Structure 1
Amino acid sequence: MRLGLTPHPDFPADAITALEVEIARAGPERLELVYRVRGDIAGLLVPATADAERTDGLWASTCFELFAKPAGGEAYCEFNFAPSSQWAAYAFDEYRAGMRELALETPAIDMLATDDAFELRVAVEASALRAGAHMAVTAVVEEASGARSYWSVRHAPGKPDFHHAESFAIEAPANEVGE
């Protein structure tokens, strides 16, 4: 499935002309995501490559995110993927409450960049990603000016809030036949 993300209306992007994500099922609890950013890539602050390790606070700069919530529940998970290859994963009991680290094997994160585009490829496995889960696919993009834009398939009213129930607008794809 391919989805276009839009910037929050109060935080437009200057350097980006388009941001989309492609999501594919790669196993019962595994998703592969390809985030594609088009525009003036030199005008963005993209973290330098680092060790692929769990790191808090990635959302404070350019970071690509995935939130997943089982159908009918209040608990959800947040996954952060940085172009540096650093990552984070958290579990919440309900809206912004009960936050704790989510046990997760290191996701595969690769970045390809040109002058006018870059792709962040991610493969992540977690029980929260089972078919039928509701997801929010989001991104925070920081520009060289320091301005940030907040991208999502659907924005809740008010300030940017990817944790808001209205952001969980996508259903995780079903398993492929034979899995």
Structure 2
Amino acid sequence: MASYELNAFDRFDTISVVGAIEQQSPHLLNIGFWLRDPNQFITWPKKVVAHPRQDFLWNSTCFEVFIGVKGEDFYREVNLSPSQAWQVYQFEEYRYPENMPPVPAYDIELIKLERTHYGMSIGLDLSLFIQKFNLKWSDIYIGLSAVLETSQGIQYYAMQHSSPQADFHNKRDWLHQF
């Protein structure tokens, strides 16, 4: 299991976020997000039933997984809400197509999404995605990020921020490789 301390875009150090990635064979991905919020600034969305697919989850507290393929422009964005709602979007290249909400993708499946006492625990099945594009784990790289709605405003966390504004779609910031 690899872990990454996610960095706040505006150096907001009151909350700390760690993301962890674990490959499970043959095509399962386990992801955990651990949060430390001693002042309880985070606003948690209300829980929904049965893991519905919903758009615009990034408008409140939401965790995101970006899945890129080496040498390719296309990628997937997985949004995971502590409410238990989720969504996967497909992009052909950087933020394209520009639809709002983005175009849903159905080649990644949610296996587990649960809010825990430490943050979030997620299980994703990449079988269809890997088979559709004839990929190996070594072809894939991952970016982890979080949008935290807090009493102090929206805070953006990612593995790194190399753009002048918070931009989770910047592939330079997707640091995990298998």
> TM-score surpassing 0.5?
yes
Q: Distance in 2 between matches of 1:71 and 1:156?
A: 19
- 3-state SS in 1 of match to 2:95: coil
Q: Distance in 1 between matches of 2:39 and 2:30?
A: 23
Q: Distance in 1 between matches of 2:39 and 2:32?
A: 17
Q: Distance in 1 between matches of 2:123 and 2:68?
A: 18
Q: CA deviation at 1:105?
A: 3.0
In the alignment, is the contact (CA less than 8 A) between 1:12 and 1:149 conserved in 2?
A: no
1:3 aligns with 4
1:112 aligns with 116
Taking only aligned residues, the RMSD between alpha carbons, in angstroms, comes to 1.8
- Residue 144 of structure 1 pairs with residue 151 of structure 2: yes
Q: CA deviation at 1:3?
A: 1.1
In the alignment, is the contact (CA less than 8 A) between 1:15 and 1:143 conserved in 2?
A: no
2:123 aligns with 123
In the alignment, is the contact (CA less than 8 A) between 2:110 and 2:123 conserved in 1?
A: no
Q: CA deviation at 1:14?
A: 5.9
Can you list the C-alpha shifts for 1:59-90, whole angstroms capped at 9, x where unaligned? 11111110011111000000011111100101
With normalisation by structure 2, the TM-score equals: 0.85
Aligned counterpart for 1:48 among listed residues 46, 49, 66:
46
In the alignment, is the contact (CA less than 8 A) between 1:30 and 1:124 conserved in 2?
A: yes
Q: Percent identity?
A: 24
Q: CA deviation at 1:36?
A: 0.2
Amino acid at match of 1:28: P
Q: CA deviation at 1:29?
A: 2.2
2:36 aligns with 38
User: Which deviates the most, 101-110 or 135-144?
Assistant: 101-110
- 3-state SS in 1 of match to 2:137: coil
With normalisation by structure 1, the TM-score equals: 0.84
Which blocks of at least 5 consecutive residues in structure 1 are unaligned?
174-179
Amino acid at match of 2:92: D
